[in-house]
Amino acid sequence: MEPAHRGLGRCTCCFWLAVTFDTVGLLVLLLGVFVNVFFYDLLIYAGAIIIFLSLIWWVFWYSGNIEVLAAELEDDVGLLKKDRVGLGGAVRRLSSRVSTGIRNSFRRNGAPSGRAQRSRAVPPEPQQTGQVAVAMATMAPDTSVSPEETREVDMPPAGT
């Protein structure tokens, strides 16, 4: 038998966090409105943002307290009744047979599954222990350009 949840429900932590965020946000916002400081706009925006962030905790509290009957959950979490008949039961049986057949055919053909497949796929290459020599040389800038080649080119004016 499930314990009876009274008052705040199951997620009391989320409830109190939401109330705390609302209270702190409102205090910061009211400080920004009524206290004469040069950073009042920062306080107003910060208070509004804190109040907005409290919505996250309210959503967590609300969604954590939603009650769903087991009869409504049976399709969603795999609590299907075995004696189902009709088109839905036939489709489920067919789907189960096809997926089981495909799964078994992979096992019969010797195809490894999961971790064994990854570990046997490619043998590791032996590591090289020697050093590799890299040749490096410095390059001097090319100064063979004549002054005539470096003159500016006249461009026609761009029209708009």
pLDDT confidence of residue 88: 73
Structure confidence at residue 9 (pLDDT) = 86
pLDDT of residue 53: 97
What are the structural domain ranges in the chain? 12-64
Can you give the C-alpha Rg of the chain in angstroms? 36
Whether the Cβ atoms of residue 48 and residue 32 lie closer than 8 Å to each other: no
159, with CB counted inside 10 A (0-12, 13-18, 19+), is: exposed
Helix axes 40-64, 12-34, angle to 10 degrees: 160
From the list 81, 82, 25, the residue with the least C-alpha distance to 48 is 25
For 93, phi then psi, to 5°, come to -65, -45
Q: Block means of pLDDT (10 residues each) for the chain, length 160 residues?
A: 72 94 98 95 97 96 87 64 68 82 76 52 60 74 64 70
Q: What is the pLDDT of residue 83?
A: 56
Predicted local distance difference test score (pLDDT) of residue 148? 62
The tokens for 30 are 């009211």
